[in-house]
Structure 1
Amino acid sequence: MRGSTMFKKMIVKTDERGLLFKKGSYVKHLQPGVHRLASFSDDEIVLLNVTKPFAVQGKDLNLFLQDEQLLKELTVVNVQDHEYVLHYEDGKFVSLLTPGKYAFWNVLKQHDFTRVDIRQPMVGAEIDEAIFSKVVGYLYASEVASHETGLLFYNNVMQQELAPGKYYFWRGPVQAAVKTVDLRHQQLDMTGQEIMTEDKVTLRLNFVCQYKIVDPLRALAFKAFEDQVYILLQLILREYVGTLKLDDLLRMKQEIAAFVLSRLNEKSEEYGVTFSSAGVKDIILPGDIKEILNTVLLAEKKAQANLITRREETASTRSLLNTAKLMDENQTLFRLKELEFLEKICEKIGTISLTGGGNLLEQLNSLLAGAKQ
């Protein structure tokens, strides 16, 4: 009985390891089994579960890494400032380790680690996307649509072009940004642009052009790219319209479009685009000019109508003259014309009364003969 009171019995289970301390200083680690300590000594055993990461509250990890026997049962990983480490136990993802030193018991589980250099923030294809939901705070995503191209920048320095898809980046010292450029055909509308013609008439133009970006990096070099294209179009229109009188402008709509498209494509390489079409949608005139043009147009149409009427009358008179000449020269034709005339008379007369002898045709002929005399 007296001997049993002189010792404290400590049991270290199979899934545990013990750390022996004397007067607060680490001595050694203890395997599973029964261990006895003097009842009145300052010895202490700290029990650790080997399924959990190795950690002793209030003690620095390096204190224990001097024990070679303990090190045989530990897997130690040191994470640098520029790294994340992905920790796997028995092939399954467990956690993401930030900079620091870590130790894990290797007696019951196999530990594997994947190092990630966050100075190159794009997540590589070797990292399984299945873990992304478990490390949300350490990742961010950018997406490039099917009709776009992406330009990848690290700390505002261009790195590469990105094809359509979804990309993930580690949060860290290097800031990644993806700028997208729409590669579809786009339309630029210029509405109500006021321009003065050579003869000092101020009008408004509605103009449209279509373009497609072919060099995304050049296009991104312009601040407010679409505004810059708009200004370019505006200057070209002012340059051309300012050399035309109003009448010429109204007559040369197609020529304006061809000129503007040609000038735009002279700048296409500089802007990283190709311009495919351009055209005038509307020319809006001031009210007083519109009234004048309407008056002129009405007068022109009346003159054209009078000309057509006179032309038709002349043609009709000429036709009658030609017919008269033919009938005068050809008695048979004249006779046929008489019979045609008689036929028309008979169609319009309901009843004909005859006196004297002879048949109807002879009497009508005698009438016509009398009319000739």
Structure 2
Amino acid sequence: MWKTFYIKPNEIGILYHRSDFKKVLQPGTYTYFGRHWQVQTYDLNQPEVKIENLELLLRNHASELQEHLLIVRTAFNQAALVRLGQTWVSVTPNQLRAFWRGFIEVEAHFFNLEESLELPAEFVRQVRGMALSGIKRFHILEYEIGLLYVQNNFSRPLETGEYAFWSVDRDVSVRSFSRIIPNPELPLEEILVEQHPDFVANYCEIVQLQNQQVAIARYQGKVIAILPPTSRKLFWRGVEVEVIDISSDAKLPTRLVAELVSGLPEVLVLSRNYLHICEVPAQHIGLLYVNQEFQAQLPSGKHAWWLFGRSLRTEVFDLRYSTLEVSGQDILSKDKVPLRLNLTAGYRILDPLLAKNGLSDIPNYLYKELQFALRGAVGERTLDALLEDKGAIDSSIFEYIRQKTADYGIEIDSVGVKDIILPGEIKTILSKVVEAEKAAQANVIRRREETAATRSMLNTAKVMEDNPVALRLKELEVLERIAEKIEKIQVNGSLDSILTELIRINRS
């Protein structure tokens, strides 16, 4: 019995007799006698061989199979890339794979994973855009730097470019950081400093501060970070760091106040948590307390201190003339008349330190003492005395409050009662008294004027009696007054008869 087998041009076959491998058949026609022959064909368009029991066949027929197959066997620490024409296939560790030779060009490249997980650059370019099992690709842009981590442990930095790494039996990751951000948040900076000094030396500026040191980091002349004592921080190279010793003097010099406090708003936001800032306006003075102890007086301007390791407190006092109103004080006079008074006092602080050390609340102290002085001055006088001489109240209060404030560095410039408000019924009584007094004064004046007028008339009559010319002038004056009140007057005869005729007219 004969059996004929046909192998197509794009195929290859393996001849078996009773399941035993005999040979590899190239394309063509083959005839064998016997019923137990069989042929397994494979499409060469699928270059990878899918042969059952490949391991067993290679053990017994390796030399013959290797003439037709590219055998790729990887150990536990090996991986491979197989080029199949223009395509690449990755082979991970502990694998056995085979590929047909001759139909397309095939070649294998092996990689020792214990030596390096990175693919050489020429392979990275050739496998670009292909999905390969067990390989991770990363692209670092021109403004970035990459940090390679294997099993979450830092391995090395990556410059700009394309990279590929085997990741079959371990985790490989890359964290990219922008070079144009000078203060990157690098993970586990302590580990980088202690275990990777070469990376730190080549790429970073390291800041490591002692207990009484602070640091200001600047990039291109702008403040980007302020570091407290005992801190450690990594910046990219190019960052300028100024370390400041604050053990003896925590106050910032003028140039740093201008930069950190009066400069850019974002810089003030950075420094606000680390500084105690006090602004003393013009005509004011400030007091500085460090750890609850007075240290110095502060002139007008902006002042700032580092907060670390100390308690700071500042108070600002106005040295200008100030007024204090004591309003609505209900007080009984000596004759039991209820009064309401409003008082104004002017003062200025001459010695802020003395005032602060002696008084916890200066305005409240002045208000209370002015109240006491006002009650004492009003309670010792009757209503009439108060109304007749309000200046006496002012003098009494001024002397009292001046003595009370002299020991606290406060100068009283003036004290004055603005208003004395009487109850309604007292106002009515006083109004009547004033009205009666004014009426009496008016009567006296009226009588005095009447007496003076009578005396004047008598003197005039005596003059006219002795002097006819004066009488004639008086007549003319009377005529003038009459002429002012009538539209027209006609005189007939002489002027001698005018007065006589007028008198006659008046009688009629």
TM-score, normalised via structure 2 length: 0.53
* Cα 1:103–1:261 shift into 2, 3 Å: closer
Tell me how far apart the structure 2 counterparts of residues 288 and 307 of structure 1 sit (CA, whole Å): 29
Q: Which has the higher contact order (CA 8 A, sep 6+)?
A: 1
Counterpart of 2:310 in structure 1 is 174
What residue in structure 2 maps to residue 272 of structure 1?
Answer: 409
Structure 1 match to 2:297: 161
* Per-residue deviation, 1:346: 8.3
Q: Is the 8 A contact 1:76 1:101 kept in 2?
A: no
CA distance in 2, matches of 1:93, 1:347: 97
* 1:117 corresponds to: 246
The equivalent residue for 2:115 is: 8
Amino acid at match of 2:311: Q
Note if contact 1:185-1:212 (Cα within 8 Å) is conserved in structure 2: yes
1:80-119 correspondence to structure 2 within 5 Å = 80-87=210-217, 95-100=225-230, 102=232, 112-117=241-246
Residue deviations 1:216-263 (CA, integer Å, cap 9, x gap)? 223323122111101111222222222222111111123332443344
Q: Of residues 342, 353, 361 in structure 2, which corresponds to 1:224?
A: 361
Q: Per-residue CA shift, 1:184-238, capped at 9, x if unaligned?
A: 3221111121222222222111111122222222332312211110111122222
Aligned equivalents of 1:174, 1:203: Cα separation in 2: 54
Q: Report the alpha carbon displacement of residue 293 of structure 1 after superposing the two structures with TM.
A: 0.9
Q: 1:10 to 1:136 in 2, by over 3 A?
A: farther
Within a 5 Å distance, the mapping from 1:217-366 to structure 2 comes to 217-221=353-357, 222-337=359-474, 359-360=493-494
Q: Does 1:195 align with 2:302?
A: no
Q: 1:159 to 1:6 in 2, by over 3 A?
A: closer
Q: For residues 78-121 of structure 1, give each alpha carbon's deviation from its aligned partner in whole angstroms, at most 9, with x where no partner exists.
A: 52333323356797756444444759799x76865413427754
Is this contact kept in 2: 1:241–1:249, CA < 8 A? yes
Q: Kindly indicate whether the alpha-carbon contact (under 8 Å) linking 1:147 and 1:164 is maintained by their aligned counterparts in 2.
A: yes
Query: What amino acid does structure 2 have at the position aligned with 1:115?
Result: I
1:42-81 aligned within 5 A: 78-81=208-211
**Alpha-carbon distance between aligned partners in 1 of 2:491 and 2:218, rounded to the nearest angstrom:** 129
Q: Give the letter aligned to residue 343 of structure 2.
A: F
User: 1:132·1:139 contact (CA, 8 Å) conserved in 2?
Assistant: no
Cα distance, 1:83–1:310 mapped onto 2, change above 3 Å: same
Deviations 1:25-76 (A, max 9, x none): xxxxxxxxxxxxxxxxxxxxxxxx9x999997785966889xxx99998987
Q: Deviations over 1:148-199 (max 9, x none)?
A: 3221122222211222323333332212122111223221111121222222
Maintained 8 Å contact 1:145/1:164:
yes
Change (3 A) 1:353 1:332: closer
Partners in 2 of 1:313 and 1:150 — Cα distance?
A: 74
Report sequence identity in percent: 33
- Equivalent position SS for 1:172: coil
Q: CA RMSD in A?
A: 5.0
**In structure 1, what is the Cα distance between the partners aligned to 2:232 and 2:378?**
75
Report the Cα offset of residue 336 of structure 1: 4.4
Structure 2 gaps, min length 5: 1-110, 119-144, 147-152, 154-175
3-state SS in 1 of match to 2:371: helix
Which runs of no fewer than 5 residues in structure 1 stay unpaired? 17-23, 25-48
Deviation at residue 299 of structure 1 after TM alignment? 0.5
Q: Which amino acid aligns with 1:215?
A: D
**Is the Cα contact below 8 Å between 1:118 and 1:170 reproduced in 2?**
no
Counterparts of 1:141-152 in structure 2, within 5 Å, are: 141-152=277-288
> Match for residue 45 of structure 1?
none
Which amino acid in the other structure matches residue 252 of structure 2? V
Given the two structures, how large is their TM-score scaled by the length of structure 1? 0.69
Kept in 2, the 8 Å contact 1:209–1:279? The answer is yes
